[in-house]
Amino acid sequence: MRLLIMGPPGAGKGTQAVLIQKHFDIPHVSTGDLFREAVKNNSPLGVSVRKYIEHGELVPDDITIQVVIDRLKHDDCKNGFLFDGFPRTIPQAVALDSILSNLNITLDAVINVVVSNQKLMERIAGRRVCKVCNAGYHVVTNKPKVEGVCDKCGGELYQRKDDTAETVQNRLKVYNDQTKPLLDYYDKRNIIKNVNGLGEIQDTFKEVLASLGVKQ
C-alpha cells in the first residue's frame, strides 16, 4: 500500500497513522520526524533544515523533496509507505508524482480524516492542563472531579495559549487554505478516501480499512 494521510490538527491523524502502519506493515514516513532526525544527527541536510525550523519557517520544497527521495531509497519502503505531513504544497505533490513515476509506482490512496471545524474547536478549546503536574483534562469528555482542580495533585487547571478558540481557529484556517488545493489535485484522480474522524478510534480505523477495500 502506498498511502498519504491528511487531516487537520486535532483530528486524530497520528493515532490512525500508527494503526495503518501496523496493519499493513509499512513505514510511517513523517517529514516532521525526518527533519528532527536530520537536525539531531547534524547531517549537512540537518544544518540547513535547522535554520528554517529555528525561525519557525516551513522547510523549502527542494530540501523537503530531497529528504523524501532519500527516505524512499530505504529497503523498508519496498512494499509501500504511509506519508504524513508530505506533500504540503502543489509543487511537492508534483515532485512526488515524478519521483514515484521514476520508480514505476503510483499512490494507491489519500486518506483524509474529516472532522468539522466546530467539532475540532470543541475538542481543542475544551482542553485543560494542570499547572503543577501537567495532567490533561477536557471540560466535556474528561472532566476533573472538581471543576478547575487537578484530580491527581489538586493543582489549578488552565487553558494553554495554543488551545484558545482564537488560536485554534487560526490554525484551522491555515490548514484549510493550505490543504484545499492538494485535495483538489488528488480528487481529480479519484484516490481520496474521506473517513469520519469524529467517532471512536477503532470505528475510524474500520472506515479506513473499508475505504481501502480491506475485508474485515
What is the set of active-site residues? 13, 88, 127, 160, 171
- Residue among 58, 103, 105, 132 that touches Zn ion (CB under 5 A): 132
Nearest distance, CB of residue 85 and Zn ion, angstroms: 32
Contact (Cβ atoms closer than 8 angstroms) between residue 58 and residue 52: yes
- Residue among 18, 47, 133, 210 that touches Zn ion (CB under 5 A): 133
Residue 172's alpha-carbon distances to 23, 142, 167, 177, 185, in angstroms, are: 29, 23, 9, 8, 20
What three-state secondary structure class fits 135?
A: coil
Nearer of residues 45 and 129 to Zn ion, judged by Cβ: 129
Comparing CA positions, the residue from 55, 54, 197, 204 lying closest to residue 123 is 197
Nearer of residues 72 and 130 to Zn ion, judged by Cβ: 130
Instruction: With contacts defined by CB under 5 A, name the span among 29-37, 44-52, 133-141, 163-171 that binds Zn ion.
Output: 133-141
Taking each helix axis as running N to C, give the angle between helix 165-187 and helix 90-102, from 0 to 180 degrees, rounded to the nearest 10: 40
Instruction: Collect all residues with Cβ–Cβ distance below 8 Å to 77 and sequence separation of at least 6.
Output: 26, 27, 29, 71
Lookup: cell for 119 = 467539532
Nearer of residues 103 and 153 to Zn ion, judged by Cβ: 153
- Contact status: 144 vs Zn ion (CB under 5 A): no
- Residue among 40, 152, 173, 180 that touches Zn ion (CB under 5 A): 152
Sheet holding 136-138, edge to edge: 136-138, 127-130, 157-158
- Contact status: 105 vs Zn ion (CB under 5 A): no
Nearer of residues 103 and 132 to Zn ion, judged by Cβ: 132
- Residue among 99, 135, 139, 149 that touches Zn ion (CB under 5 A): 135
87 prior amide bond cis, ω within 30: yes
Nearest distance, CB of residue 88 and Zn ion, angstroms: 36
Q: Where do contacts with Zn ion occur on this chain (CB under 5 A)?
A: 130, 132-133, 135, 150, 152-153, 155
